[in-house]
Structure 1
Amino acid sequence: MTIRLFIDGAAGTTGLEIRERLAPRKEIELLTLADKDRKDAKKRSEILNDADFVILCLPDDAAREAVSLIANDRTRVIDASSAHRVAEGWVYGMAELEPGQSAAIAEAARVTNPGCWPTGFLALVRPLVRAGLVPHDWPLSYSGASGYSGGGRSMIEEFEDESAANYTHTAYRAYGLTLAHKHLPEMQKHARIAEPPIFQPAVARVMRGMISEVPLPLNALPRRPSAATIEATLQEAYRDSKIVRVLPTVDTSAVHIEADSGTDRLTLRVFANPDTGHARLIATYDNLGKGAGGAAVQNLNIMAGLDPTAGLVL
């Protein structure tokens, strides 16, 4: 059986990433729209309704518009924008998030792809909240750095095009300084916590890759969990996953932002000082892999009843 797929926004960073992964696959027929027809609502509507699956790689408003153009109950949608990540009627597309999440994705007509930043936060925090090791109302913070490709064409230009007005020589810059980042509602809802974390994102002068972390004062938590308990809880949560892995704490010298660059995996690590009871939970992944395009391909595989890891680099 051949799957007819249309990527709306295939010329953008995420769309190109997804197309590259899917192009060699014989079981998927990629539908395309000529450049001159991209803004023609009638032709966009026709191709959206002709597809079995649609992946939206669009700005939020354009993604909402695309969904409104689908007039049948057959075309299934994966939205890679942030338009529907906390919307009713959409299944959250992080298969590892909860027991049964993959089954829910498999049956869904509308799936919203996770944001790159929430992916690391949820992978680290949700199992601990679910197990009661971190109270749902505990004040959490979350920080890290992403490759600049996560900002799309404008940010790639900022870091690569020396002739551009917005070109920068900086190696690393913090942003989200209003503490009102658009990913916060998504993190709060899907981690099932009372308040959003204090979020401290940054972008680094590296094309792709991501490192993010959640610090925990283990001795201050009500159940005073050990680092070994935290690590074991994460290992149990992801024991059946081929994509998420929990590495034992062996090398404490460094963790690099490029550790999982060029792959679709997500790696979790737990570091702790037993004397102070302080712990750092660290996630590494590719902002265009498990943080975007790789996650969309994984969701497509699940929805289509295929091997979830088909076409992924692990």
Structure 2
Amino acid sequence: MRQVSGDASLLRRLNSAAILRIMRASEDATLTELARAARVSRPTAEGVVDDLLAEGWAEECVEEQGDRQRGRPARRFRFRASAAHVVGVSIGHSGVRATVSDLNGGLVSVRRRRLAPDTAAPDRLAATVEQVWLAAADAEIAVGDLVAVGVGTTGVVDGEGRVVKSIALPCWTGLHLQAELGARLPVPVVVENDMRLAVLAEHWRGAAQGRSNVVYLFTGNRIGMGLLIGGVPYRGRTRPRGRSAGSPTTTGWPSGTSWTTRCRPSPASCAPAGRAPSSRSRGPGTATSAPARRSGTSREGWPPG
């Protein structure tokens, strides 16, 4: 039976994704090697590579002087990791760290700020945003040009980036961290439990490379564990989703009450040192002092307008 629903543009995108994935997994490859691995014809592979070169996702390897051989050498191509950048953020008991990296995980810049364990939640949020802006400025990258900001935090985190439960950070339970940071940063934000991200990192770039079933155990001022089963992070049979049992909406907080309103009265550590940052603010807020303006490091400037 003849297939009617043939979409050439979709097929080309699928081929592009396959060749880019192969290129990223290898140090470099020729057109013939890419075509063979992607199971496409050489002319198809050549057309896809030309598009990737034009879009900046791939680059042609420069032949070293000592590697030259007789005859015309095969052209070799590799994934261009510097085509885009991301920021990884760690929010923990003792501080905040923001790291800018390329698409292969290569570190570009790092910013850290130590915080007292009882730092108010709005102040911790403001410090997080501040470190993202400063790390991007150090890397001479505008925050708006980042692909995404990935955030790992202590506590139980649901699929929407809400902290369902946290015993380590004041007023962190019930905080929709992904929404709060997303309102302050002009870039997509994804939030996950830090131990789950840690086991993924070890699987990708660390000691667990090539392993599908991994147990990651963290011991320090607390004990944490991340599980990888079949190459997928394990959430458990009763993984939290939305307003799960034990979340603030089921333990006495009136529906519709904002997080900043809940955090102000008690305990005292939940109250911000200054005015709580607006949920619409794109900058680091007013709870911490803003650093001096830096020129020539970020097109968006500091602090953001």
TM-score category, normalised to shorter length: under 0.3
**TM-score, with length taken from structure 2:** 0.26
**TM-score, with length taken from structure 1:** 0.25
Larger radius of gyration: 2
